[in-house]
Amino acid sequence: MSELTQSPTWQALTDHFEQIKPLHMRDMFDKDPNRFEKFSVRSSGILLDYSKNRITSETMTLLTDLARSCQVEEIRDRMFAGAHINSTEDRAVFHVALRNRSERPMMVDGKDVMPDVRRVLNKMRRFSEDVRKGHWRGITGRHIKTVVNIGIGGSDLGVIMALQSMRSYQRDDLSPRFISNVDSSHLMETLRDLDPETTLFIVASKTFSTQETMLNATSARSWLVKRLGREAVRKHFVAVSTNKKRVHDFGIDTDYMFPFWDWVGGRYSTWSAIGLAIALVIGMDKFEEMLEGGYAMDEHFRTTPLENNMPVIMALLGVWYSNFFGWSTHAVLPYDQYLTRFPQFLQQMDMESNGKRIDLQGRPVDYTTGPIIFGHAGTNAQHSFFQLLHQGSWNVSMDFIGVANNHHPLREHQTILLSNFLAQTKALMRGKTEAEVRKELSAKGMPPAKIDMLAPHRTFPGNKPTNSLVLPLVTPFTIGQLIALYEHKVFVQGVIWNINSFDQWGVELGKELARDLTPKLTGEVPIMGEDSSTEGLLNYMKRLKKEFI
């Protein structure tokens, strides 16, 4: 057994779980009318209600003891101090510096990085304002109308999510598009109806060598050059990168290369120059409001005692269900159409960060780490997978995200949306007993035999745990808060599980093998040394490709 599972705090939680396991939340609420007040916290306008969880005050005390015994506070402070807590890559984890809105220095390796951070933000402001005001134009002198972000993973998902979330702040005459998948269909369908004279491409790759991104960028450049000539590249392409030579060789003016740093992980990079598309489409003022929201959550996380610390509470509840209940799946359910992309964004943030089976000392863990994350926007999700949540044999913990107000004046829509948000968490908590079902059907005059047949199918066990996060409105500030909240939640869980949340070696193996297989698929080298399945698939695909030549 590991040090974690042998620790006194873990053993205390294991014993306590046996007391909690038979309890139903319906009864907990009936016995304690102050449960909401006990189990809810607020931070800069965001409310977390975690009262609909299978917990008592003792549970939260024991979970907080676990966090302290795992040195969550100390490692948090080391992160904010610029320590190299990414041990396998010997790097600081310092995305918090990107949204530091105070005058406090942020030190890495003896250097205050804030002057460089502010320099890049100022450069982003100048360029975005030039484009938005029409000072920067395409090669033929026409205004830019479409910004195409070419990236993948952290250079794509966060930017898409943020711009989808802040759609109401976009101008009608400047719209974003995204190319990430190396599948040519993604590229060509994105370019299909674009006017090259009014299109600006952002190539987002730190090293300017990411295979998918650079292939897409090269093909997009060919599309542009075919229509406007090679000189157009300098007026229609910019780069977010640190590799000046590769950017220059591609044909991009290095004056329009926007750098970031090796202490910025890809899935935490939306706050950096990777967010250039956000600044272009909604304006730099709104981008900086998003930074303000992130900073507000950073300060809450950095200074609030663990007992009332929103990211810590959410992290500990996740540990409770993953490691003591044995549940491996977590759903994120935003009740706001603008947040449709948020669950997908969290899939990368959480599963790439904590999808690890080796601890910091290189030993296999003997406990569950990162959960499987899924989700979609309500109310659509209610007509998709909610049946499993209510009556399925799988157990799933859930975050519901509600937004009190909407940018559009159709009040009845928002009322119905929020009613569904409230009803779902209530139904998942309370369920419906067989006795209640029988009474209900009998009151409708249904014959006893039919009641006997239907009652089991219309019974809901309830006792399904949910967190309710409530935002006042989807704004750049609240989006910044929300992203930072989940970043810190993931961080805390990684600390407790004693894993490195900031590397992603598992992403690399498939890429390495793909590079080896490419020449075999094209016929440049013979198909040898493969397992029978890979060899059979290679031969079959090569035959199919010949049929379409």
Residues 185 and 285 in one domain: yes
Residue 398 · residue 349 · CB < 8 Å: no
Residues 237 and 309 in one domain: no
State the pLDDT confidence band at 549, using cuts at 50, 70 and 90. Answer: low
DSSP code at position 549: -
Residues 385 and 474 in one domain: yes
The per-residue pLDDT for 508 is 85
Domain assignment present for residue 63? The answer is yes
Residues 283 and 319 in one domain: no
> Is the pLDDT confidence value at 102 over 80?
yes
State the pLDDT confidence band at 98, using cuts at 50, 70 and 90. Answer: very high
Domain assignment present for residue 57? The answer is yes
Tens digit of each residue's pLDDT (9 = 90 or more) over 378-435: 999 999 999 999 999 999 999 999 999 999 989 899 999 999 999 999 999 999 999 9
Q: What is the mean pLDDT of residues 285-310?
A: 98
Tens digit of each residue's pLDDT (9 = 90 or more) over 222-243: 999 999 999 999 999 999 999 9
Residues 491 and 516 in one domain: no
Instruction: List the structure tokens of 124.
Output: 């982003």
Domain assignment present for residue 46? The answer is yes
Cα–Cα distance measured from residue 325 to residue 533, given in angstroms and rounded to the nearest whole number: 38
**Residue 477: domain span:** 3-69+304-503
Tens digit of each residue's pLDDT (9 = 90 or more) over 315-365: 999 999 999 999 999 999 999 999 999 999 999 999 999 999 999 999 999
Domain assignment present for residue 94? The answer is no
Domain assignment present for residue 78? The answer is no
Tens digit of each residue's pLDDT (9 = 90 or more) over 50-63: 999 999 999 999 99
**Mean pLDDT score of the chain, rounded to an integer?**
96
> Is the pLDDT confidence value at 40 over 90?
yes
Q: Which of 503, 522, 537 is the last residue of a domain?
A: 503
The per-residue pLDDT for 409 is 86
Residues 309 and 448 in one domain: yes
Percent of the chain with pLDDT over 70: 100
Residues 169 and 280 in one domain: yes
Which alpha helices (H) appear in 81-143, and where do they start and end?
95-98, 114-133
> Is the pLDDT confidence value at 455 over 90?
yes
Residues 412 and 337 in one domain: yes
Tens digit of each residue's pLDDT (9 = 90 or more) over 479-528: 999 999 999 999 999 999 999 999 999 988 888 899 899 999 988 888 98
Total structural domains within the chain: 3
Buried b (16+ CB within 10 A) or exposed e, 158-188: bbbbbbbbbeebeeeebebbbbbebeeeebe
| DSSP class per residue in 232-287 | GHHHHEEEE-S-HHHHHHHT--GGGEE---TTS-GGG-TTTGGGHHHHHHH-HHHH
**Pick from 511, 488, 508, 491: which is nearest to 499 by CA?**
491
| CATH number of the domain to which 113 belongs | 3.40.50.10490
Cα dihedral 445→449→454→460 (10° resolution): 80
Annotated catalytic sites, by residue?
Answer: 352, 383, 511
| CATH number of the domain to which 537 belongs | 1.10.1390
Terminal-to-terminal C-alpha distance of the chain: 58
Listed as own residue / partner, the contacts of 222-227 with beta carbons closer than 8 Å and 24 or more positions apart are 223/191, 223/196, 224/196, 224/199, 227/196
